[in-house]
Amino acid sequence: MAKKLFIKTYGCQMNVYDSARMAEALAPLGYRSVEEPADADMVILNTCHIREKASEKVFSELGRLRALKDERPDGAGPMLIGVAGCVAQAEGEEILRRAPQVDMVFGPQTYHRLPDLVARARRGERALDTDFPAEDKFATLPDRPRAVSATAFLTIQEGCDKFCTFCVVPYTRGAEFSRPAAEVLAEARALAAAGAREITLLGQNVNAYHGAYHGADANGREEGLGGLIRRLAEIEGVERIRYTTSHPRDVDDALVAAHRDVPELMPFLHLPVQSGSDRILAAMNRRHTGDDYRRTVDRLRAARPDLALSSDFIVGYPGETEAEFEATLRLAEEIGYAQAYSFKYSPRPGTPAAEAAEQLAESVKAERLARLQALLNRMQTVFNEASIGAEMAVLFERPGRRPGQVIGRSPFMQSVHVEAAGDLLGEILPVRIAAAHANSLTGVAVAGGPAMPPIGGRAEVRA
pLDDT, tens digit, 9 for 90 and up, residues 217-244: 445 567 899 999 999 999 999 999 999 9
Give the C-alpha separation, 73 to 142, whole Å: 33
Confirm whether 260 is domain-assigned.
Answer: yes
76 pLDDT band, cuts 50/70/90, is confident
Confirm whether 37 is domain-assigned.
Answer: yes
Q: Verify that 156 and 278 share a domain, yes or no.
A: yes
Q: Verify that 55 and 191 share a domain, yes or no.
A: no
Q: Please provide the size of the chain in residues.
A: 463
Hey, what long-range contacts does 329-333 have (CB within 8 A, 24 or more apart)?
Answer: 329/276, 329/371, 329/372, 329/375, 330/276, 331/273, 331/276, 331/290, 331/293, 331/294, 332/276, 332/372, 332/375, 332/376, 332/379, 333/375, 333/379, 333/462, 333/463
Q: What is the CATH number of the domain that holds 430?
A: 2.40.50.140
Tell me how many domains the chain contains. Answer: 3
Q: Verify that 311 and 183 share a domain, yes or no.
A: yes
Q: Verify that 404 and 297 share a domain, yes or no.
A: no
Confirm whether 324 is domain-assigned.
Answer: yes
Q: Verify that 177 and 321 share a domain, yes or no.
A: yes
Q: Verify that 249 and 369 share a domain, yes or no.
A: yes
pLDDT at position 344: 96
Q: Verify that 215 and 322 share a domain, yes or no.
A: yes
pLDDT at position 400: 86
Q: What is the CATH number of the domain that holds 30?
A: 3.40.50.12160
Higher pLDDT, residue 382 or 446: 382
pLDDT at position 271: 98
Percent of the chain with pLDDT over 90: 76
Mapping DSSP onto H, E and C, the string for the chain reads CCEEEEEEECCCHHHHHHHHHHHHHHHHHCEEECCCHHHCCEEEEEECCCCCCHHHHHHHHHHHHHHHHHCCCCCCCCCEEEEEHHHHHHHHHHHHHHCCCCCEEECCCCHHHHHHHHHHHHCCCCEEECCCCCCCHHHHCCCCCCCCCCEEEEECEECCCCCCCCCCHHHHCCCCEECCHHHHHHHHHHHHHCCCCEEEEECCCHHHCEEECCCCCCCCCEEEHHHHHHHHCCCCCCCEEEEECCCHHHCCHHHHHHHHHCCCECCEEECCCECCCHHHHHHCCCCCCHHHHHHHHHHHHHHCCCCEEECEEEECCCCCCHHHHHHHHHHHHHHCCCCCEEEECCCCCCCHHHHCCCCCCHHHHHHHHHHHHHHHHHHHHHHHHCCCCCEEEEEEEEECCCCCEEEEECCCCCEEEEECCCCCCCCEEEEEEEEECCCEEEEEECCCCCCCCCCCCCCCCCC
Q: Verify that 28 and 51 share a domain, yes or no.
A: yes
pLDDT at position 55: 79
Tell which of 385, 412, 435 closes a domain: 385
pLDDT at position 337: 98
Confirm whether 68 is domain-assigned.
Answer: yes
Question: Is 451's pLDDT higher than 50?
Answer: no
Residues 108 and 89 sit within 8 Å (Cβ to Cβ): yes
Burial 135-165 (b: 16+ CB within 10 A, else e): eebbeebeebeeebebbbbbbbbbbbebebb
Worst-scoring range by mean pLDDT, 172-176, 283-287, 343-347? Answer: 172-176
CA atoms within 13 A on the CB side of 341: 10
Averaged pLDDT score across all residues of the chain: 91
Q: What is the pLDDT of residues 193-223, one digit of tens each?
A: 999 999 999 999 999 999 986 544 445 567 8
Q: What is the pLDDT of residues 8-41, one digit of tens each?
A: 998 788 899 999 999 999 999 999 999 999 999 9
Residues 56-76 have a mean pLDDT of: 88
Give the C-alpha separation, 18 to 24, whole Å: 10
pLDDT at position 22: 95
Confirm whether 203 is domain-assigned.
Answer: yes
Question: Is 1's pLDDT higher than 70?
Answer: no
Confirm whether 463 is domain-assigned.
Answer: no
Q: Verify that 395 and 380 share a domain, yes or no.
A: no
Tell which of 129, 159, 175 closes a domain: 129
Percent of the chain with pLDDT over 70: 93
Confirm whether 12 is domain-assigned.
Answer: yes
Question: Is 68's pLDDT higher than 70?
Answer: yes
Q: Verify that 357 and 432 share a domain, yes or no.
A: no
pLDDT at position 135: 72
Range of the domain at 412: 391-445
Tell which of 342, 360, 385 closes a domain: 385
For helices 290-303 and 322-335, give the axis angle rounded to 10 degrees: 10
Residues 310-324 have a mean pLDDT of: 98
Q: Verify that 56 and 87 share a domain, yes or no.
A: yes
Q: What is the pLDDT of residues 249-260, one digit of tens each?
A: 999 999 999 999
Q: Verify that 252 and 210 share a domain, yes or no.
A: yes
pLDDT at position 90: 87
Question: Is 450's pLDDT higher than 60?
Answer: no
Worst-scoring range by mean pLDDT, 104-113, 278-287, 306-315? Answer: 104-113
Worst-scoring range by mean pLDDT, 13-22, 28-37, 139-148, 309-318? Answer: 139-148
Residues 154 and 199 sit within 8 Å (Cβ to Cβ): yes
pLDDT at position 456: 39
pLDDT at position 218: 45
Residues 41-59 have a mean pLDDT of: 85
Confirm whether 331 is domain-assigned.
Answer: yes
